[in-house]
Amino acid sequence: MRIGKQDQAFTAIATSDADTITVRGHDLCDDLIGKIGFSDYFWLLVIGKTPSEAQRRMLDACLVAISEHGLVPSVQAARMTLAAGPDAWQGAMAAGLLGMGSVVAGSSETAGRYLADLVKSAGDGDVEPVVIDSLRQHKAERRKVAGLGHPQHSGGDPRADRLLAIADNLGLSGRHVHALRVLDKHASAIVERPLPINVSGAIPACMLDAGWPLEAMKAVPLLARAAGLSAHLYEESLRSIGFVMSHKADQAIAYDGAMPARRAAE
């Protein structure tokens, strides 16, 4: 059954024949393997051209900033999956990546879309009035401000500060970084609670200004977390804590549902 138009079945990413493998117009063996770093290759794969030195350094910084995040729910899911199926690394990795939504890690995409909307709304004009109006709407509707706020680093997320400084030093800071800083300037006063820039706001601001496409923003935290998950899964295979976490959950969560009539009467 055909769903939608299927007349243009093409890909510009890779092809191969009996003798060669071509990736984005480059011979994989002659031009890429052993001659290009992985971050450069990642950029080439997604965008179709290799990055400048500044773009690569910005990407590297963002990947390093969020590869490891401790025992967050997605990591716990991955480790418990491996504990239950020690031969299923791929399933455990998938469990961890599937847990990257709008709250943890996937929030970079949400913040990126918000920043892009602010910049687009401002056009060639000043973004500050657009930001102020948006923050007032967020307060009135009691909505979270994407890219701002942190439960632990209420005085400022050190990872965000570092990434923004790197963008400045590399000469990449542009309209999106500026919009993020204007948000930071006004958010706490308008919303009436501490709302520092967090790493999920800094990453899309820096990457968008570096030329990374908004539509592929989620790829950055996904790739970064795959590295962190690999570390946790390797450790899990050596020193398992998956069932320990499961047992701790049983102890920490109390049942408050209905009881059978006989036991309820006791």
In this model, does residue 59 exceed pLDDT 60?
Answer: yes
pLDDT digits (tens, 9 = 90+) for 166-220: 999 999 999 999 999 999 999 999 999 999 999 999 999 999 999 999 999 999 9
230: buried, middle or exposed (CB in 10 Å: 19+, 13-18, 0-12)? Answer: middle
Report the alpha-carbon distance of residue 261 to residue 56 in Å, rounded.
65
pLDDT at 149: 84
pLDDT of residue 261: 79
Domain count, the chain: 2
Region for residue 259 given its phi and psi (left: phi exceeds 0; alpha: psi -120 to 50; beta: otherwise): beta
pLDDT surpassing 60 at residue 1? no
Amino acid (one-letter) located at 230: S
Residue 107: the pLDDT is 84
Nearest to 104 by CA among 76, 84, 82, 83: 76
Do 220 and 203 meet the contact criterion of CB atoms below 8 Å apart? yes
Determine, yes or no, domain membership for 251: no
Question: According to the model, what pLDDT value does residue 41 have?
Answer: 98
Residues 123 and 35 in one domain: no
- On whether residue 247 sits in a domain, the answer given is no
Domain-embedded: residue 26: yes
Name the pLDDT band for 264 (thresholds 50, 70, 90): low
Is 92 among the domain residues? Answer: no
Confidence (pLDDT) at 96 = 94
Q: Is the pLDDT of residue 55 over 90?
A: yes
As a whole number, mean pLDDT of residues 33-44 equals: 98
CATH code of the domain in which 125 resides: 1.10.230.10
Q: With 80 as the cut, is the pLDDT of residue 2 above it?
A: no
Residue with tokens 């350094």: 57
Higher pLDDT, 37 or 1: 37
Q: Are residues 38 and 124 in the same domain?
A: no
Residue-range definition of the domain harbouring residue 20: 12-50
Instruction: Measure the CA–CA gap between 250 and 99, rounded to whole angstroms.
Output: 21
Predicted TM-score of the model (pTM): 0.90
Model pLDDT, residue 247: 87
Is 149 in contact with 199 (CB distance < 8 Å)? no
pLDDT tens digits along 80-125: 999 999 999 999 999 999 988 777 766 899 999 999 999 999 999 9
Q: Quick one: pLDDT at residue 249?
A: 86
C-alpha 188/C-alpha 139 separation (Å) is: 11
- Comparing CA positions, the residue from 121, 128, 114, 120 lying closest to residue 190 is 128
**Residue closest to 203 by CA, chosen among 188, 227, 225, 229:** 225
Element (H, E) at 132: helix 128-141
In the chain, % helix, strand, coil (3-state, to 5) comes to: 60, 5, 35
